[in-house]
Structure 1
Amino acid sequence: MLKTTSVPMMAHNDDDEWSPKNYDKHASFVPALGAPVLRLLDPQSHERILDLGAGNGVLTIELEKHCSSVVAVDASAVMIQAARRIGCQDARVVDGHDLIEDTDLATGQFDAVFSNAALHWMKKDPERVIQGVNKCLKPEGRFVAECGGYMDLCEVRSGLHMALKKRGVKNPDEYDPWFFPGVNTYTRMLEQNGFRVEYIELIPRLTKLNSDIAGFIETFGFSFMKPFEGDEAMQKEIRDEVQSNLKFSQDEGTWSVMFVRLRFKAVKIN
């Protein structure tokens, strides 16, 4: 059985605001949640696998122990540098939206494409991402992933939207980096882009945080702060406000968020 030490993809961001230090501090709860999707992948020793959204490469290193070869891709150059530092054999800066045009990868050479906690960051054009995955896979190759699904982070996300509207931002969705599809939506997208869905499910999962809501927002919700770039006091005020408004939903002494994960396995048919 694979060790559950995965770190999810760092989203594409023109300014590459992802911080490995913040991630280690506020989000080390993530690795223990990767076991089910790793079991669903069931990597074999002869296989070549694309790790889409490899983050700092910790999961890639584990996959390399079980497969013939693994290519790690991520949109964050900072995280790919971290992956190379820990010894990933092949780690590349590639945005999932651009995978379809990658002449080295999108050539039907992979037995499987694996993605953990990454696809929901690829909001710009999710179907283009699926099309790119399809081009990377061999016939009957499998696409196995877990990402945020419908109603994921509902309380935190709603709190951030409300905080921005309160401060004059008319359309907070412009700064919301996440795409959280439901079963019907993502099944349709997969089937319309050359896949047969063998398994797909929404899984609610209350998750205890390492620190608090403010730390979670600092690590994952930084794009919501773009209207207030340079105003550190306002950014802190927003984080603290969202946290304060969510105190009623927390157990004494702990901070938790309700994740809803979309987990699936699909097979390339054309």
Structure 2
Amino acid sequence: MPADQDPKPAPSQHWDPARYQRNAGFVPVLGAPVLDLLAPQPGERILDLGCGDGVLTEKLVAAGASVVGVDASAEQIAAARARGLDARVMSGEALTFVGGFDAVFSNAALHWMKQADAVIDGVWRALEPGGRFVAEMGGGANVAAITGALVAALDRRGLDGAGAVPWFFPSVEDYRARLERRGFRVRTIGLIERPTPLPGAMAGWLETFAESFIRRLPEPDRAAYIAEVETALAPRLRNAQGQWHADYVRLRFAAEKL
């Protein structure tokens, strides 16, 4: 996709904190490398963009930083506030901060924000000169097998499978161009292939992350749809011991506001 074009807005996605912890607790655990890349310092003011239930936000606070977490999900923000965090309901595509932050951090959230240039612009405005934008998101061929199976199963039902895709998985070249166009200096950026074991069946992952597909169907038809997608994915994403994994590819970067 050309760097001057944003994808269409994402379909809605509902976030249930308990379901997320049950089926996707590995997400913050695997956020350690991007936390290391950020290297938060005591006294820094950091914006956690797409903070979810605040598991990684707590680690930023533990490092001595002053942290504000934002997320579009009121349910996730309630869970973050229950941890005692400064967490606010706010869309990452419409950030309202003007200056004040030494760094903006994000893990596993930016790919849900399809208006990428609006996100980058909001991050730019929130940062002080020299501030850091450090993040990890889905990129490149992230969950390509899963997406293909979800789309194909909707298409077989006469529905627009491609139109249900809620994610934006940019290439290195695409996202670098967006950052540089806004005036960031990109210090590091790259794709990491990371096949990720799941805590249970693929159905749990689909129910947590693929609502934009599942909700295209009437309630009575959803279980059969999920089972059909699982069957299609089993030869590739389930091993001989019955362990499922997701075909993750992550885009990790660190940039500096000039």
Q: State TM-score, norm by structure 1.
A: 0.89
> Which amino acid counterpart does residue 53 of structure 1 have in structure 2?
G
Cα deviation for residue 31 of structure 1 reads 2.6
- Counterpart in 2 of 1:3? none
* Candidates 83, 89, 97, aligned match of 1:93: 89
After superposition, residues 10-25 of structure 1 pair within 5 angstroms as 17-25=14-22
Residue 240 of structure 1 and its aligned partner are, at CA, apart by: 0.7
Aligned counterpart for 2:102 among listed residues 96, 103, 111: 111
Aligned equivalent of 1:245: 232
Instruction: Name the counterpart of 1:30.
Output: 27
* Equivalent pair of 1:51/1:114 in contact (CA under 8 Å): yes
Contact 2:40/2:65, CA 8 A, preserved across alignment: no
Secondary structure in structure 2 of the residue aligned to 1:115: strand
For each residue in 1:52-78, what CA deviation from the matched residue of structure 2 results, as whole angstroms up to 9, or x when unmatched? 010011211221121341000000000
Residue of structure 1 equivalent to 2:49:
52
Q: How does 1:1-270 map to 2 (within 5 A)?
A: 17-88=14-85, 90-99=86-95, 102=96, 105=97, 107-123=98-114, 125-169=115-159, 171-228=160-217, 231-249=218-236, 250-252=238-240, 253-269=242-258
Q: CA deviation at 1:13?
A: 6.8
Q: How many residues align?
A: 248
What is the percentage of aligned positions where both structures have the same residue? 49
Contact residue 180 and residue 186 of structure 2 kept, 8 A: yes
Residue 108 (structure 1) shift = 1.3
User: CA–CA distance in 2 between the matches of 1:109 and 1:44?
Assistant: 15
- Structure 2 CA distance for aligned equivalents of residues 42 and 22 of structure 1: 30
How far, CA to CA, are the matches of 1:122 and 1:195 in structure 2? Answer: 19
Calculate the aligned-residue CA RMSD, in Å.
1.5
Residue 54 of structure 2 contacts residue 83 of structure 2 at CA under 8 Å; is this kept in 1?
yes
Code of the aligned partner of 1:79: Q
Q: Which runs of 5+ in 1 are unaligned?
A: 1-11
SS at match of 2:59: helix
Superimposed CA distance per residue, residues 202-228 of structure 1 (whole angstroms, 9 cap, x where no aligned partner):
000011001111110000001112321
| Superimposed CA distance per residue, residues 140-188 of structure 1 (whole angstroms, 9 cap, x where no aligned partner) | 101000000010001100000001111111x323221100001000000
Q: Aligned to 2:199, what secondary structure does the other structure show?
A: coil
**Which residues of structure 2 form unaligned runs of 5+?**
1-9
Which residue identity lines up with residue 113 of structure 2 in the other structure? M
What TM-score does the superposition give when structure 2 sets the normalisation length? 0.93
